[in-house]
Chains A and B, each alone.
Chain A
Amino acid sequence: MVTDSTEVLSLQGVQAYYGESHVLHGVDLSVKSGEVVSLLGRNGAGKTSTLRAILGLVGRRSGSIRVFGQECVGQSPHQVARLGVGYCPEERGIFSSLSCEENLLLPPTLSAGGMSLAEIYAMFPNLQERKNSPGTRLSGGEQQMLAVARILRTGAKLLLLDEISEGLAPVIVQALARMIRDLKAKGYTIVMVEQNFAFAEPLADRFCVMEHGQMVMSFAAAQLSEQRAQLNEYLGL
């Protein structure tokens, strides 16, 4: 698939608050079509808040957030989502009152080009096996697969993934890595928040590091060896 260099996501000087708490102090980020960007940083650096700010799930926001060229800093979450954003939250958010398949079918179609149910089951055969089980009866790994799979149906082209490898067995984590590579090959743009640097390292085109609600490093995968020392300092490794 041809990736053009259009900017799919752009944050400029984004400030965000949860009530009184000032969590983002001017974040800049630029993601091009087809890129896989890994958002790194210590606990509390503001990585999850950045993803939530893009979707409008924080309190007050200011600055500029452009998704597929549209300014959306003032929009409500459902409007931002409809621009073609798929979100996989840290807690996965599988609905206990729905079966696995109902969970999968829940997010509405946002635009054309989403994967069909058949294609999803081809990519995630174990979800087809468990399709009638209540969503929360699935194992941790299956729930994570489900959480990502359901946003692939919608036609969203920009995927925001929060800590998808967290707490999962190595075998599952490898399967997730393969999935990310597949999605990248299909042309999805992905922003991944990851504490587990080992997971992110082979997958990302670019690394962005956050600290105290700001972006402090941003470099391409090719520059990793030069930047490694400073990166380790920021990550406390």
Chain B
Amino acid sequence: MEIFGIPSQALFGQLLIGLINGSFYAMLSLGLAVIFGLLNIINFTHGAQYMLGAFAAYLGLTHLGLSYWASLLLAPLITGATGMLIERVMLARLYKLDHLYGLLLTFGLALIIQGLFKNHFGASGMPYAVPPIFAGSFQLGFMFLPKYRAWVIVMSLLTCLLTWYVIERTKLGAYLRAATERPELVQAFGINVPRMITLTYGFGVGLAALAGVMAAPIYQVSPLMGTDIIIVVFAVVVIGGMGSILGAILTGFGLGLVEGLTKVIYPEASNTVIFLIMIIVLLFKPAGLFGSEK
């Protein structure tokens, strides 16, 4: 079957890849948005923390025989804990300063983490098997849908929506949103805002690591897997605007799809299309699609 002159298998295959990429863009830009909202820093380490999640799964499997499911739970917790340590020991001291120092610190940490892993594991990727329960594909008629990919899309949607719900609809989320606006006043109400900040950073990092575990069976586990994706995610964040959680989610998935579509129609532009969209958005709506001018 052909659609617009493109074999349907190819078209839907690329759209699926786009949706998968979009799942990771959404999860990662969500983590960045949550961290930026409360801490006002751009977490350059995010890509490295995504990589750490994937490696935690890989090393967990090869050294400890941990299953995918155990890693899905443990990797975010462990990586999140290291994130909280970073926040307590280093980031917290920088809040009084120009927030560009926070950016520089997280950049430096990213270099350290990536450098150490690259030294130890080399630059090439290591495979991580799809968990057996997801082996095989669904036959949908117009395409094959690998079960693991379906799981990734569902899981990332669930995670994003759950995060959105907690932030927008719960008391905890109300404290977070209030502390984003006026941290001092929320402290004066009796809320331990510094601890909330630490936990929020840990959560954002954990989200990145969770994305990493989910990514392991799809992309190879490599020390460099974080860098290139994080720059694209920055563009996604600029396009979406960091104003809204829902905006980050929609932009992530949407841009993934656009990237997939571009790969079918005009492959040469596929790795630059998101940046080009960023330029267009900056020209016409500088605050981002869902952002608001502060």
Instruction: Please report A residues at the B interface, Cβ cutoff 8 Å.
Output: 55, 57, 76-78, 81-82, 85, 87, 89, 93, 95-98, 102, 106-108, 110, 151, 154
In the complex, what distance in Å separates the CA atom of A81 from the CA atom of B192? 10
Binds A, one of B7-15, B41-49, B174-182: B174-182
Which of A76, A102, A154 is within 8 Å of B189, CB to CB? A154
Contact B181 A96 (CB under 8 A): yes
- Apart from A76-B187, A110-B190, list 15 A-B contacts with CB within 8 A: A55-B188, A57-B188, A78-B190, A78-B191, A81-B189, A85-B188, A87-B185, A89-B188, A97-B181, A106-B174, A106-B186, A107-B189, A108-B190, A154-B189, A154-B190
B194: interface (CB < 8 Å): yes
Residues on A with C-beta less than 8 A from B178 are: 95, 97-98, 106
B48 to chain A, nearest CB (A): 31
Asked if A82 meets B190 with Cβ closer than 8 Å, knowing A93-B185, A95-B181, A96-B181, the reply is yes
Tell me the nearest residue of chain A to B187, going by C-beta. Answer: A77
Contact A107 B181 (CB under 8 A): no
Asked if A106 meets B188 with Cβ closer than 8 Å, knowing A93-B182, A98-B174, the reply is no
In the complex, what distance in Å separates the CA atom of A85 from the CA atom of B178? 19
A-B contact pairs, 8 of them (CB 8 A): A77-B188, A78-B188, A81-B190, A93-B182, A95-B177, A102-B174, A106-B178, A108-B191
Which of A76, A87, A93, A96 is within 8 Å of B194, CB to CB? A76
Residues on A with C-beta less than 8 A from B185 are: 87, 89, 93
Residues on A with C-beta less than 8 A from B194 are: 76
Contact B184 A106 (CB under 8 A): no
A-B contact count (CB 8 A): 57
In the complex, what distance in Å separates the CA atom of A110 from the CA atom of B190? 7
B213: interface (CB < 8 Å): no
B272 to chain A, nearest CB (A): 35
In the complex, what distance in Å separates the CA atom of A142 from the CA atom of B185? 19
Tell me the nearest residue of chain A to B184, going by C-beta. Answer: A57
In the complex, what distance in Å separates the CA atom of A98 from the CA atom of B185? 14
B193: interface (CB < 8 Å): yes
Tell me the nearest residue of chain B to A92, going by C-beta. Answer: B185
In the complex, what distance in Å separates the CA atom of A82 from the CA atom of B192? 10
Contact B181 A77 (CB under 8 A): no
Residues on B with C-beta less than 8 A from A55 are: 188
B250 to chain A, nearest CB (A): 19
Contact B188 A81 (CB under 8 A): yes
Contact with A along B188-211 (1 / 0, CB 8 A): 111111100000000000000000
Contact A97 B188 (CB under 8 A): no
Which of B182, B190, B191 is within 8 Å of A95, CB to CB? B182
A99 to chain B, nearest CB (A): 10
Tell me the nearest residue of chain B to A160, going by C-beta. Answer: B188
Tell me the nearest residue of chain B to A102, going by C-beta. Answer: B174
Tell me the nearest residue of chain A to B168, going by C-beta. Answer: A97
The 8 closest A-B pairs by CB, nearest first: A81-B190, A77-B187, A107-B189, A93-B185, A87-B188, A82-B190, A97-B177, A78-B192
A154 to chain B, nearest CB (A): 7
Asked if A77 meets B174 with Cβ closer than 8 Å, knowing A82-B190, A107-B190, the reply is no
Contact B177 A98 (CB under 8 A): yes
B172 to chain A, nearest CB (A): 11
In the complex, what distance in Å separates the CA atom of A63 from the CA atom of B17? 64
A206 to chain B, nearest CB (A): 24
A25 to chain B, nearest CB (A): 23
In the complex, what distance in Å separates the CA atom of A95 from the CA atom of B184? 12
In the complex, what distance in Å separates the CA atom of A189 from the CA atom of B221? 62
Residues on B with C-beta less than 8 A from A82 are: 190
Residues on A with C-beta less than 8 A from B189 are: 78, 81, 87, 106-108, 151, 154
Residues on B with C-beta less than 8 A from A95 are: 177-178, 181-182
In the complex, what distance in Å separates the CA atom of A175 from the CA atom of B94? 44
In the complex, what distance in Å separates the CA atom of A85 from the CA atom of B185? 12
A195 to chain B, nearest CB (A): 21
In the complex, what distance in Å separates the CA atom of A89 from the CA atom of B187? 12
Residues on B with C-beta less than 8 A from A106 are: 174-175, 178, 186, 189
B17 to chain A, nearest CB (A): 36
Residues on A with C-beta less than 8 A from B191 are: 78, 108
Residues on B with C-beta less than 8 A from A93 are: 182, 185
Residues on A with C-beta less than 8 A from B181 are: 95-97
Contact A78 B193 (CB under 8 A): yes
In the complex, what distance in Å separates the CA atom of A107 from the CA atom of B88? 25
In the complex, what distance in Å separates the CA atom of A154 from the CA atom of B190? 10
